[in-house]
Amino acid sequence: MIIINILCFLILTSCSKGDNTGPLVKNVTISITTDKAVYNPSDVVNFKIDKALPATARVRYRYLNQTLEETSLNGQSWSWTAPSTDYKGYMVDVFDITDNEEYIYGSIAVDVSSDWSKFPRYGFLSKFPELTDTRMSNIVDSLSRCHINGIMFYDFENKHHKPLAGTTANPENSWYDIAKRTNYLTTVQGYITKAHERNMMAMFYNLAYGAWKNAAADGVSSEWYMYTNTSHSTIDYIYLDNNWSSSIYLLDPSNTGWQDYIARQNDDLYSVFDFDGFHVDQVGNRDKNLYTYNGTLIDLPGTFAPFLNAMKTKNPGKRLVMNAVDQLGQEGIATTNVDFMYSEVWTPTTYDELAKVITDNNTFCGNTKNTVLAAYMNRGLSGQKGFFNLPGVLLTESVIFAFGGSHIELGEHMLVHEYFPNSNLTMSVELKRAMISYYDFLVAYENILRDGGAFNTVNITSADRQMNLNSWPPQTGNVAVLGKEVGKRQVIHLINFSTASDLNWRDNDGSRTVPVKYSNSRFDINVNSTVGKVWYASPDYIHGSSTELEFVRNGNTISLSIPYMQYWGMIVIEYL
């Protein structure tokens, strides 16, 4: 298993309980891994660390800020039996106490969820050449460390209308894809096996309605296509030049003949590859009238739900996810049996508009499904080699995660372009470490980030005037406040736009700057009931582990301070 290092940083402040600076982190490097990305209730979780620690080191298991168990650490590997309750996230800290001061060596989250659709964290694979077993294991392990619980196999297929190369009895060992790349059966099968070993779902990618040239030879009827005129003389298509295997010709997803045909092709694929389901793609709004073979006007967004319903019926037992490009057809998709909402974001440009995609999806599905966003960071830099801009990535990540979404971005590389194999931008070592902390945070606190609740407005002021605060939506130069009530907990997200010169989430040219860092910031917060506990957590502070805050109550106001914030911090008030 690949070990991804977490660089622990040294907080150079006092750690006495009274000043709320919380536990310190020793100036050491420690890596913690688990053997799976996600676990079923009562599963055994196996942990490893990359170096020996003092005999005084301990392990603590927490649900939110509640300690469930604490034990001594013996050796560099150990096991823990996960609780029997389904759909819960936990934080596991490895720590030590010296002179009554707590030092956290490192932390890792654990997701106990029997079905990925509850808290989807989607990754991808996009390159399927001949690969060694070690190389494939390293890639899948890196995804598992970020708790990715489902993988999209992007553009692995032979032809869009005939994804399996060869026959079920004699599948081809290799084939050309749409980009004329050679893909290998052993690589696809090997990745699926390794994903399943780590409890990840494996989803094959394909368009809902794509065919290559000369598809008639494979049994595709001219009566199934979408036409740009009523006389069925011109098929709608996506033009691709000779660098590609074919242009892509578009069919009517609601045509029952096409549905029967592609479902049979999917059955052939499932008989050779142990995929768990179908990730259905589209190409967005066509900006033109489209017609059936018989000249009937097609309502393109309205064709997706019938297609999905047919796939669920004709390929029973298989999962479905569908991309709503700029939300095209999303309201109809939400009514079907897709596992979660998936939106490829183009037109929404601001952080507020990005967050609205998530809240709109919540409305469309009646708050029954969570959202994954395909949102390509630093897209304007995708044509040349370079690095992702860390401040831009983490600020957008903070917004998506605080609003309860997830972000498809991790694979063999980080996504920068809608053509997933584009790997021109590279993650810095610092960004890789940060992403581990952010995904640990998303998992450890999934029950207040992604498990119900209602967004609200909170009355909070900066008592020491360190921060300029404003309620969501964000303003440049300020820290945005986002409230959410979850049961008897009031969650307060602080997202730092202090140095943002604009509010465009994509950070297209990679110019977003590092925000101001705040230490020991004091706040006054209005409360409406008896407060039992207040705690704080941030993916930018002590590996996302939580720290309890002391507070003073005066009437309907509590006063407290938080130890540190850079991009995103979360205050949680627990009422009795």
How do residues 147-170 score in pLDDT, each as one tens digit?
999 999 999 999 999 999 999 999
Beta-carbon-side half-sphere exposure of residue 174 (alpha carbons within 13 Å): 10
Q: Taking every pair of C-alpha atoms in the chain, what is the biggest distance, in angstroms? A: 84
Give me the pLDDT at residue 436, please. Answer: 98
pLDDT at 243 over 90: yes
The pLDDT value recorded for residue 28 is: 72
6 or 210, higher pLDDT: 210
Whether the bond into 473 is cis, omega within 30 of 0: yes
Nearby residues of 291 by Cβ (< 8 Å), 6 or more positions away: 226, 227, 228, 229, 230, 232, 297, 298
Confidence of residue 7 (pLDDT cuts 50, 70, 90): very low
Mean pLDDT of 413-434: 98
Structure tokens at 439: 């995904």
**pLDDT value at residue 9:** 32
Share of the chain above pLDDT 90, in %: 94
Average pLDDT, the chain: 95
pTM (2 decimals)?
A: 0.95
Taking only the tens place, the pLDDT of each residue in 166-191 is 999 999 999 999 999 999 999 999 99
d(CA 147, CA 44): 16
pLDDT in tens, 537-571: 999 999 999 999 999 999 999 999 999 999 999 99
Q: Is 346 exposed, middle or buried (0-12, 13-18, 19+ CB in 10 A)?
A: middle
Q: For residues 74 and 80, give the distance between their C-alpha atoms in angstroms, rounded to a whole number.
A: 13
Residue 98: its pLDDT value, please? 86
